[in-house]
């Protein structure tokens, strides 16, 4: 996930948290451009996680078949990177779902 994508995601989550907490200074709406940027950042992040998973699986298959020059350590590192990126994406998803639930439970 790029630094820009993380910052965009953090800004969006801050807005949702502020709204859920009822803070008056929180923006009440997100511009279409910001929504598009957030959606694109999230989409790119999901694609990167998918790419890491596919790459790790390809490394495992290549190592198991004796192809290429991958060492066991390199295969294990790629698997751990893929797992870490997947766990991070799950954590982000869970926080977004929680923020959404808080916003939908607000009484206006």
Q: How far apart are CA 25 and CA 21, in angstroms?
A: 11
Q: How much is the pLDDT for 78? A: 93
Reported residue count of the chain is 108
The pLDDT assigned to 15 comes to 67
CATH topology for the 3-104 domain: Methane Monooxygenase Hydroxylase; Chain G, domain 1 (1.20.58)
pTM exceeds cut of 0.85? no
Q: Using the 8-state DSSP alphabet, how is residue 26 labeled?
A: S
Cβ atoms of 5 and 87 within 8 Å: the answer is no
CB atoms within 10 A of CB 104: 8
* Of residues 19, 41, 34, 42, the one with CA closest to residue 101: 19
Residue 17 has pLDDT above 80, yes or no: no
Mean pLDDT along residues 85-90: 92
């Amino acid at each position: 996930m790029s630094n820009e994508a993380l910052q965009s995601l953090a800004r969006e989550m801050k807005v949702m948290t502020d709204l859920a907490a009822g803070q008056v200074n929180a923006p009440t709406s997100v511009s279409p451009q910001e929504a598009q940027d957030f959606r694109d950042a999230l989409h790119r992040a999901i694609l990167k996680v998918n790419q890491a998973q596919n790459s790790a699986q390809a490394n495992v298959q290549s190592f198991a078949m004796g192809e290429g020059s991958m060492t066991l350590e390199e295969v294990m590192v790629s698997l751990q990177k893929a797992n870490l990126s997947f766990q991070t994406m799950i954590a982000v998803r869970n926080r977004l779902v929680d923020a959404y639930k808080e916003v939908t439970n607000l009484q206006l």
